[in-house]
Amino acid sequence: MKQFLDFRYFQVVAKTGSIRKVADKLSITSTALNRRILAMEAELDEKLFERQATGVRLSVVGELFLHHVQKQIADLERVKSQISDLSGIRRGHINIACSQALLTSFFPEQIAKFRGQHPAVTFSLYLRDRKATEETLLDNSVDLAIVFEPVHMNELQVLICKEQQLYAIMPIDHELAEKEELKLSDCTNYPLALPTSEYGVRKILDFKANWSRLDLSPAVESDSFEFLRNHVINEGCITFQIEIGLPQILKEIGLVAVPLSKADMVAGSMYLIQKKAVHCLRSLLVLQSN
C-alpha cells in the first residue's frame, strides 16, 4: 500500500521537522523523500510544509492533513488486527498513552504477561499528563489510554474504571511510618513534596485541603514522581501517590507507603479509555488488565 507508506513518511517528517534527518533514519535519500512529499502537495494543490533554513514546519493545510493521515493509519491498523483475529492469530501494534505512575511497575508487568500469550503483538508506550493523554486519543495518535481523574470525557469510551486509594510515601523510619492509615491533616505537620497541579493526585489533595482549610504548601514541587520519591529519601519528607503507581521496591529503597483513610479522603479513579468505536485487538488488553 504505497499511499500508506507515503502517509507514514509524511507523519514522521511532521513530527521530526527535518526531511534530511528522517531520510537518514529511514535509509532513503533526502531527494527521494522530498519527491514523495512534493507529489502529495501536487495532488492536494497545497503546501503541506513551510520550508525553513533549519528544517520544515507544518502549514495550516499540513496540520489538517496530518489529522487525516493519523486517522487513516489508525483505521488501517484496526483492519489488519481484525483480519488477524479472523485467522485466530493475535498480532498487531498497540499504542498506549499513560501517566508516569504506570510506567514503573504496572505496564512492564502487564505487557510482559500479555506478550507471553500473544508474542506477535507489539507495543509503544508514551508518557503524557492526563490532558495530553486524552488529546492523543482524539487525534488517533494512540489506541488506548489510562488516566487518573480525566479532564474531559467527550468522545471517549470508558472500558474500565477502578477506584484508586491515595498513599503517603515516607522514609521507613519516619514518625508516621508505623501507622495503619493516615488523615491528610496528619501529614501537613511535616515537609511535603507534591506533584504539580496538572496531576490528578494533586487535584484531590488540593480539594481536601481547601475543604478542610489545611495548609498544603509544598517544600518541593515536581512533575516527576520519581524525583519526588528520591527527594523523600534525601530530605525525609512526605509525598503522595496512587496505589497502582507504587513501586514494588519501596522497602528496598528505604520507603514505606501508608494509605490515606477513605473516610478522610475522597478516592480518585483510574480510567482505561479509548476513542469511541475502536474494537478488536484492543479489547484483549482490557481483559488482561482487568
In this prediction, residue 167 has a pLDDT band, given cuts at 50, 70 and 90, of very high
Cell of 41: 502537495
The class level of CATH for 2-63 reads mainly alpha
Using alpha carbons only, give the angle 154, 129, 74 rounded to the nearest 5 degrees: 60
Domains of the chain, by residue range, sit at 2-63, 90-161+270-289, 166-266
Cell of 213: 482549610
What superfamily in CATH does domain 90-161+270-289 come from?
Answer: Periplasmic binding protein-like II (3.40.190.10)
Strands (E), the chain: 49-52, 55-58, 92-98, 121-127, 144-148, 156-164, 166-171, 193-195, 220-222, 239-242, 255-259, 268-275
Q: What percent of the chain has pLDDT over 90?
A: 23
pLDDT tens per residue, range 88-132: 546 678 888 888 778 877 888 888 888 888 888 888 888 887 778
- Give Dmax (Cα) for the chain: 70
pLDDT tens per residue, range 223-248: 888 899 999 999 999 999 988 888 77
Cell of 77: 491498523
Please determine, for residue 280, whether its predicted confidence score (pLDDT) is greater than 60.
Answer: no
Domains 2-63 and 166-266 share a fold: no
pTM of this structure: 0.60
Once rounded to an integer, what is the mean pLDDT over residues 198-214? 89
- In CATH, the architecture of 166-266 is 3-Layer(aba) Sandwich (3.40)
